[in-house]
Chains A and B, each alone.
Chain A
Amino acid sequence: AQSVTQLGSHVSVSEGALVLLRCNYSSSVPPYLFWYVQYPNQGLQLLLKYTSAATLVKGINGFEAEFKKSETSFHLTKPSAHMSDAAEYFCAVSAMNRDDKIIFGKGTRLHILP
């Protein structure tokens, strides 16, 4: 079974500050890990994904995430927040080389303070 835990349903950072959104996963098999962003009343856009290649994954819009197996974590970071980054962020996990269901975390709403 797989699951994802996102720490903090709401995170607020000042514009220009570091963004850190936390995600821990549980998986009985090697995982694929994803971060998605959702703007109000819209679908999901893939930010980045980990698929067993490099542990540091770079995505769109300046985001990156690091897969740490020892900590079962896949935290999302961005060095400098922009107002346009305000959105809901979902961490997700699926089983590598097995089925392709994606299990989503509960989401973290990122607020950017001017």
Chain B
Amino acid sequence: GAVVSQHPSWVICKSGTSVKIECRSLDFQATTMFWYRQFPKQSLMLMATSNEGSKATYEQGVEKDKFLINHASLTLSTLTVTSAHPEDSSFYICSARPGQANTDTQYFGPGTRLTVL
């Protein structure tokens, strides 16, 4: 149980285009999902927290207009990188927290590698 999937697993795009990444909780409902960014050989940096049905909360320094997050249902959150540039190339990982009283568990997706040419 507690499986989180991401689609696509990798994507290559041209500079200036937009890319959408999906994060799905497959066997549980996730009231909260998190989006992280990981540069090569570095740690995960939290980008934003999204709660189903409300606006995402972005971490300091993350451009909300560039990284659009939508959490339209209890099993799906999307991250859209708008007008992507080479510096946006990174490994994007989502995690999902089940909608239960126990708040200490997040389940991570396998990640999406974005390469912007």
Number of interface residues of A (CB under 8 A): 23
In the complex, A105 Cα to B44 Cα: how many Å?
8
Q: Mark B93-117, 1 if CB is under 8 A from A, else 0.
A: 1010100000111111111010000
Residues on B with C-beta less than 8 A from A100 are: 32, 97, 103-104, 106
Q: A43-B109, A100-B32 are contacts. A107–B42 as well, Cβ < 8 Å?
A: yes
A-facing residues in B44-75 (Cβ within 8 Å): 44-46, 49
Partner-contacting stretch, out of A20-28, A44-52, A62-70, A73-81: A44-52
Q: A94-B104, A100-B104 are contacts. A41–B44 as well, Cβ < 8 Å?
A: no
Considering only CB atoms, which chain A residue lies closest to B91 in the complex?
A41
Is B43 within 8 A of A104, CB to CB? yes
Is A43 within 8 A of B110, CB to CB? yes
Is B46 within 8 A of A102, CB to CB? yes
A to B CB contacts below 8 Å, 5 in the list: A44-B44, A51-B104, A100-B97, A100-B104, A103-B46
